[in-house]
Amino acid sequence: MAASLLGRRTVDLQLRRRRLWWLYPANVVVWLTFFGLYSLWTIVFFHSDQFHQYLSPFYSPQVAVGRTPVSPALFIFYVPLGFRATCYYYRKAYYRSFFGDPSACSRVEPSQMAALSPTGRRSSYRGESRLPFVLNNLHRFFMYLVVGFVVVLWIDAIRSFYYQGHLGFGLGTGLMVINMVLLTGYTFGCHSLRHLVGGGVDCFSCVLAGVQRHQVWKGASWLNARHSAFAWLSLFSLILTDGYIRLLQSGVIHDPHLGF
């Protein structure tokens, strides 16, 4: 009796999931659009977002040529945003959600429908072999650059403990550190990075520093299994950190702070 009740519940849950298949793509469309627009707004309309020792991740690193500061948009658009846009997880998410290709596992994708059509003609879908999607193959190179960004952003997060000449800890410090933990988890769980540290090795005990490499690969694999969670959480923590510093800068809120 209990077993049949359990079976019934499982079937109900599966049916419910099928009916709500659109929830995942709808969420992806809403949040990715929001993040894209927010990034555009923050980079195009503002030149800095800094409050005392807190520097927003959207404006780091701060670089100047001579005395002229270089717009952070030059880096942010091409490196961290390029890294996310070409990420294997986000690709799956936005191909499914924005292009419906496929919209869900149990649904037929448009290119297959074209192949099954009476004319037998396939759509013009060319995968990632033509512009613009061929640019997704640059993901590995974005990854090399983003590792440098992660180091710089960690330095910013550590600097945030130094408050007006004293050691201290504020809500902003906490947000910056949490943001960096999530960004590090996202970056080091990257499929390309995992391949770089151990993907091409058939036998770890046969290569130089094999034991250490195996440990690093295991760490990257652990993060990689949680890549989608880190992808979303780091996206929200970026917005939250930038928004918090922006509100401090404009005097709307105060930073609760403990000095030592």
Enumerate binding residues for ligand FES (CB under 6 A): 87-89, 139, 143, 190-192, 227
Measured from the CB atom, the residue of 9 and 226 that comes closer to ligand FES is 226
Measured from the CB atom, the residue of 142 and 163 that comes closer to ligand FES is 142
Measured from the CB atom, the residue of 143 and 176 that comes closer to ligand FES is 143
Q: Are strands 63-65 and 68-70 parallel, antiparallel or unpaired?
A: antiparallel
Report, in Å, the least distance between residue 228 CB and ligand FES.
9
Measured from the CB atom, the residue of 190 and 197 that comes closer to ligand FES is 190
Report, in Å, the least distance between residue 98 CB and ligand FES.
17
Report, in Å, the least distance between residue 192 CB and ligand FES.
5
Taking alpha carbons only, the member of 187, 196, 195 closest to residue 231 is 187
Report, in Å, the least distance between residue 57 CB and ligand FES.
16
Measured from the CB atom, the residue of 79 and 245 that comes closer to ligand FES is 79
Written in H, E and C, the secondary structure of the chain is: CHHHHHHHHHHHHHHHHHHCCCHHHHHHHHHHHHHHHHHHHHHHHCCCCEECCEECHHHCCCEEECCEEECCHHHHCCCHHHHHHCCHHHHHHHHHHHCCCCCCCCCCCHHHHHHHCCCCCCCCCCCCCCCCHHHHHHHHHHHHHHHHHHHHHHHHHHHCCEECCEEEEEHHHHHHHHHHHHHHHHHHCCHHHHHHHHHCCCCHHHCCCHHHHHHHHHHHHHHHHCHHHHHHHHHHHHHHHHHHHHHHHCCCCCCCEEEC
Measured from the CB atom, the residue of 7 and 199 that comes closer to ligand FES is 199
Report, in Å, the least distance between residue 238 CB and ligand FES.
14
Rounded CA-CA distance 166/179 in Å is 23
Report, in Å, the least distance between residue 207 CB and ligand FES.
23
Report, in Å, the least distance between residue 219 CB and ligand FES.
15
Measured from the CB atom, the residue of 52 and 191 that comes closer to ligand FES is 191
